[in-house]
Structure 1
Amino acid sequence: MFENLSDRLERSFKILKGEGKITEINVAETLKDVRRALLDADVNYKVAKTFTDTVKQKALGMNVLTVVKPGQLMVKIVHDELAELMGGKASDLHLDGKPAIILMSGLQGSGKTTFSGKLANMLKAKNRKNPLLVACDVYRPAAIEQLGVVGQTVGVPVYSEPGNKDVVAIANNAIREARAKGNDVVIIDTAGRLAIDEQMMDEIAALKQAVNPDETLFVVDAMTGQDAVNTAKEFNDRLDFDGVVLTKLDGDTRGGAALSIRTVVTKPIKFVGTGEKMEAIDVFHPDRMADRILGMGDIVSLVERAQEQFDEKQAKELEKKIRKNQFDFSDFLNQIQQIKKMGNLKDLAAMIPGLGSKIKDIDIDDSVLKSIEAIINSMTPKERSNPKIINQSRRMRIAKGSGTTLQDVNRLMKQFDQMRTMMKLVTGTSNSKMMQMANAMRQMKGKL
């Protein structure tokens, strides 16, 4: 995500490296390169020009402390302006209605249906809501069935009326059903088209007027770059939506949509989709995204993701086992499954400050976890709980059963022993301390 832009910006800042002070000449040279980097990332030309003009004005008007190098100051100014460009701060959903109604809009293929499921899953897990998904895409073949599968995956009911083409009637009936059954959030999935047309706009405008949603969200594929921004503008002119959802931000996106859309439509980016799994949804934090773009990582988001997978009671039991050197392969398998829920391994690693640029050319394949799981699943319950009994013949059987080699099994056994030793040394960092660390990080970011 944003790897090319990050590389280009890093090279741009090197122009100031070694300079004793900021001057109009070296700032102009740096920002010329920054503007090219933004344009190559498919950022809107006017947005890129305004951005670099603002940075130049702030850089030249600032007195540089002797302890701050010009390059460091420029990074700080660019970071703050990038965050401001993308909205400044995270924007919350407004769910005041009873039930609260969320209307999805966007072109076909933008990911509305999948995102509807992700949002329902997030509201259910984090906000303790009881959502209802509504199938109002009555044109695309199998759209209702797709939403049904999504709803089943996340454990959320789906309201549909197969054969009925009146989306206003379907939505109103769904809202009545939600009130009757105690659903406090209604998420309406609507039809899209391959391109904007008058019929689609008329239909969704009529739907919005009829249900008066608390939130109208525009869902757009981030990989479409400036086309995404142009489509957002046309939808906003007609619908006056409340916020933007950028999907497929984990793909080979140049970042132009994320950096341009807030300025062009003056509406906040509220969520981003970061993968195919139903848990792959993040609240959009402009300051954290600026951190990632500038290669600073995103340790707060990483800790938050870890906290979501933590079970306080389970963590305390695990700590006791580690202290007694009783951590076994069943515990290890459980930890792997929790890590997988947090997201793609390379994305997680890139959140660690300073690591993103070092691993950008390294292929970190999630399949490595699959082979470890296969090896552990090929062990007997007795072997998992007591790894010391796994002798050479058992290792050969485990390798054959897991479709791996004896070398793979031996390597895992060695790494497991090393990990147990290390974990025993660091058991002082308990889950409660992880919580304290996360809170301290948030407070620090608030003061910076």
Structure 2
Amino acid sequence: MFDRKEKGDRAVLVLPHSRGEGDTARRAEEFAELVKSAGAEVLGVVAARVEDPNPRYYIGSGKADEVAEAARALEADVVLVDHVLTPVQERNLEKHLGIRVVDRAGLILDIFAQRARSHEGKLEVELAQLKHLATRLVRGWTHLDAQRGGAIGNRGPGETQLETDRRLIGVRVKMLTKRLEKVQVQRGQQRRSRLRNTVPQVALVGYTNAGKSTLFNALTTGDVYAANLLFATLDPTVRKLEDLSCGPAVLADTVGFIRELPHDLVAAFRATLAEARDADLLLHVSDAADEERERLHRVVDNVLEEIDAGDVPQLHIMNKIDLAGSEPRIDRDAAGKPVRVWLSAATGVGLDLLRQALGELLGGERVQSALLLPLTAGRLHARLKAAGAISGETVDEHGWQLRIDAPRSVIAPLSGGDPTETQLLRELLAVAE
């Protein structure tokens, strides 16, 4: 066996493909972008036709020899494989090549580790990494077979370094899981608070690098990092979305999706993805200039199904029309409902159409009326204000003179169960009909 180097980013890429796989050039380009996002230098590429995966190496033994020769000739210190390998295949390849081997899942996990900034994001990434690592400890490093013992206090059967590492990983996984449960409880409380205020919840989803964060910044006062890199942002960010005809809403930016996203990573990022699952509306952002956008739509929809968000209504956003040469517009279904908005988040063209579509989808029938609210109804006044239902008000000894302008769906549930408040809202809604 060999001793792993502490760090190395000079890479040879292995690109497995099969006959019916589709656009292998696009897949290779995407993997190269992943490698770029990880900060590695690509020295060479080896394509490998794989119709019947080799249980030992995944690629054929002859192709494994070719990769070994390329790695030696180019003095590479890591081989990156564009496929998810089993622990046995990864271990056998490392032994055969004599250098580190990282599969697609490991590479994505490494990128996530570099990008996470919040306490929650770092916990989620570390948990996913440890779960991934736990299956790959066997004989990956020469020191793992060393038996403890021999010195005073350590004599006897002892335990191997492998067993020690497994035990320590198990302890760390339990600790991280408990910490994340606490964070998720806190985030759940924040979401429930927003729901109690009946503010509509909107979440951005889409294939990574489709321009979600740029759109988020354009629609809000957010300052989410946006760059032409895969997984440029990871941590969930929530901002208020204003200037809509339906009143204010809450907009959440979520992690970008990608094909073959590691299952452990999807499971770990429950808190981030919960913003999509609990939303009233998903803005499914796509790159209008991408010829593969329909296939990428299906990838995103598959991940949404996996996190139980497949039934959440979607509005498709065709972004980057400045690159596609398209005009800003709203596409509608037979009933006149907006289903697709064409825009450019980078230039701002079409953002007004998106706000119009959001107002229509989130608003429904509006209530526009005057309301005299007695001073004893302070809680209802606070709820109406938090929901953005008050367009103007004055107050005197008789109470609040309010001008109400909000969707009926926002006002109807605001009474909180109090009979007096319920009657006031019932009268308001009756007058507005």
Give the alignment's TM-score, normalised by structure 2.
0.29
Task: Return the structure number with greater helix share.
Answer: 1
Give the alignment's TM-score, normalised by structure 1.
0.29
Task: Return the structure number with greater strand share.
Answer: 2
Higher relative contact order (CA 8 A, sep 6+): 1
